[in-house]
Structure 1
Amino acid sequence: MSLTGGKRFGAGRSGRTAATVVAAVAACSGIGWTAVALTSSSTAARPPVTCAYTPTGAGPRTVGVPSFDADSAGRPLTFRLTTGEGTVTVKALTEDAPCATNSFSYLAGKKYFDGSKCHRLTTKGIFVLECGDPAGVGNSDPGYSYPDENLAGAVYPAGTVAVSKAQPGRNGGQFFISYGDPAFRLNPDWTPFGKVVEGLDVVKRIAAKGTASGEPDGAPKEPVVLTAVTVQRP
């Protein structure tokens, strides 16, 4: 996720002090973390789902624009993220975030993530590992964007997987994994689309090594490569 420019979760890494990072995040997010569960599916009837994916131009690894099948929007999906440290298994929130999960599934099928480096780690105030940019810098998208969803009451406790923004207002291929509860409540600005069900310890091991700069916000000290991201359907 990128918090520069007000709502971008992921840029402005090196040279920040811990106080600057926490102050910047607090200013964007507001204090007062409450540990509650991820937003869950409602039992009420849901309106028909439509997803609009808007071309944005060339990215570092463009793979076309996904289509959307409303009939399969709520079907269960599991994502497996394989790294050198181990595998992280994510249960997709297909009913709550159908457009985001459809996009992620599409990109995984196109091997968009394979071989890419996770470009950001935060170790104070907020505790996330951010990945999904093949350029490895956190400012690009896959050649399309789509609107936010699943933001009502959204929170980001440990295990949350949510969409990052390459630029404010532009959801694409970037995402973050929360490996710890944030120290304050974040504004609901990033679409939660999954929950880690296995392998959170993998992310914690990565985080324990710190950043390359030694600051609480920056690239991981040791490169974290997504060797494969796959989709499993029951």
Structure 2
Amino acid sequence: MASSRDRQRKLARAKLDRQLARRAARARRRRQIQAGVGVAVVLVLIVAGSAWGLGAFDRDPPENTAAEEICLWTPQDASANTNLRDVGTPATTGLPTEGVRTMTVVTNQGVPVTAELDVAASPCAVASISHLAASSFYDNTKCHEITTEGAVRCGDPSGTGLGGPAYSFYDENVPTAAQPSASPAPDQPATYPKGTVAMVSSMPGANGSQFLIFFKDFTTADPTYSVVGRVTSGLDTVEKIGALPTVENEGGAKVKPKDDDVVVQSLTVTESAPSPATTPTTTSPTPAANSSAG
């Protein structure tokens, strides 16, 4: 019996020794692998650091060969809205972003209205109006509304307030909201001063061809119209239109000119000529009178 127990103990001891030996071998292999990886990482860092120091990773930044897109023209479905007129879209690149343009509106109501369009503040609105004007989009269209806010609304060939080109674009130059006050300061500027030219659309933020010309100051705590320019001459004509009697339009609002159609006979946009340089006036010195001793 004793010999049998001794043999079992020897066998168990031998088995344990074998397990310990295998565990030790695995531990040695793991340490060797970790050491090898560590050495490799150190070598990579050394090589990379040397290459960095020698300028191997120095590269000139890639040139932006694509022209910057200034405006986004969102297509509108002219087949779904028959009030839209497809005359293509303006360019998206290479558009002017500074200076001014002159818009001249000839109507059947008096002297032409001339406005200065601010390219820097509203480059997309100016680009759109210029494109549409070049396509004769505005010619022989009606100013179909005299708004309760004090503006003449023009630029819709359908005369419904739902018309425009087959594209739209976002707001650009919306004024800051007026601060509500029980007794506003008398010198507080109007949100839309008389003579302001602003874009208007049937849906907020989706401008097209329609615009407003204000014939009186308008102040609001919720401005929504993008300002594109201001009238420089012919404001009397706008005021005359604003004084016309109105009747209800299809929507029930009393804003439609009653008797006389207000027709835009033509609308053109031209690049404003630079102001002529002012030549300083020089005054020739008056010769001093000769005085002779008698």
Alignment match of 1:227 (pick from 262, 265, 276):
265
Change in Cα spacing, 1:71 to 1:105, as seen in structure 2 (3 Å) is closer
Name the amino acid aligned to 1:197.
T
* Deviations 1:88-107 (CA, angstroms, capped at 9, x unpaired): 00100110000111101111
TM-score (norm 2): 0.58
- Determine the structure 2 residue equivalent to 1:112: 137
Is the CA contact 1:210–1:216 (under 8 Å) kept in the aligned structure 2?
Answer: no
Q: What residue in structure 2 maps to residue 210 of structure 1?
A: 245
Q: Which residue of 1 aligns with 2:86?
A: 62
> 2:229 pairs with 182, 194, 197, which one?
194
Bigger fraction of residues in strand: 1
- Closer, same or farther: CA 189–197 of 1 in aligned 2, 3 Å: same
Larger Rg: 2
Q: Structure 1: 5+ residue runs without aligned partners?
A: 1-47
Size of the aligned set, in residue pairs, is 184
The answer to whether the 8 Å contact 2:113/2:237 transfers is yes
Secondary structure at the residue paired with 2:106?
Answer: strand
Distance (Å, rounded) in 1 between the aligned partners of 2:118 and 2:221: 20
Deviation at 1:85, TM superposition (A): 1.3
Contact 1:157–1:178 (CA<8 Å) still a contact in 2?
A: yes
Matching residue's letter, 1:220: P
Q: Secondary structure at the match of 2:124?
A: helix
1:101 aligns to 2:130 (yes or no): no
Aligned to 1:146: 169
Runs of 4+ in 1 over 3 A off after TM superposition: 68-71, 212-217
CA contact (8 A) 2:140 2:264 kept: yes
SS in 2 for 1:169: coil
Q: Secondary structure at the match of 1:108?
A: helix
Structure 1 residue 153 displacement after superposition: 2.3
CA shift for structure 1 position 137: 1.0
Between the aligned partners of 1:186 and 1:174, the Cα distance in structure 2 is 22
Q: Deviations over 1:152-172 (max 9, x none)?
A: 527211011100112233110
**Which residue in 2 is equivalent to 1:127?**
150
With over 3 angstroms needed to count, the CA separation of the structure-2 counterparts of 1:116 and 1:191, relative to structure 1, is same
Measured in 1, the distance between the counterparts of 2:244 and 2:228 equals 27
Alignment deviations for residues 113-146 of structure 1 (CA, whole Å, 9 cap, x no partner) = 1011011103x5x201001100011112200001
CA separation in 2, counterparts of 1:162 and 1:188? 11
Q: Determine if the alignment matches structure 1 residue 172 to structure 2 residue 197.
A: no
Structure 2 counterpart of 1:52 = 72
CA contact (8 A) 1:68 1:102 kept: no
- State the Cα deviation string for residues 182-201 of structure 1 (Å, max 9, x = none): 2x425221110010000110
**Normalized per residue, which structure has more helix?**
2
In structure 2, give the amino acid aligned to 1:160: T
- Structure 2 counterpart SS, 1:85: coil
How well do the aligned residues superpose, as a CA RMSD in angstroms? 2.1
Identical positions, percent: 37
> 2:105 is matched by which residue type in structure 1?
L
Unaligned ranges ≥5, structure 2: 1-67, 178-190, 274-294
Looking at structure 1, the residues matched to 207 and 130 of structure 2 have their Cα atoms a distance apart, in angstroms, of 14
Give the 3 Å change call, closer, same or farther, for CA 49–103 of structure 1 in structure 2: same
Whether contact under 8 Å (2:153, 2:213) holds in the other structure is yes
Match of 1:13? none
Aligned partner letter, 1:225: V
- The match for 2:220 among 185, 197, 207 is 185
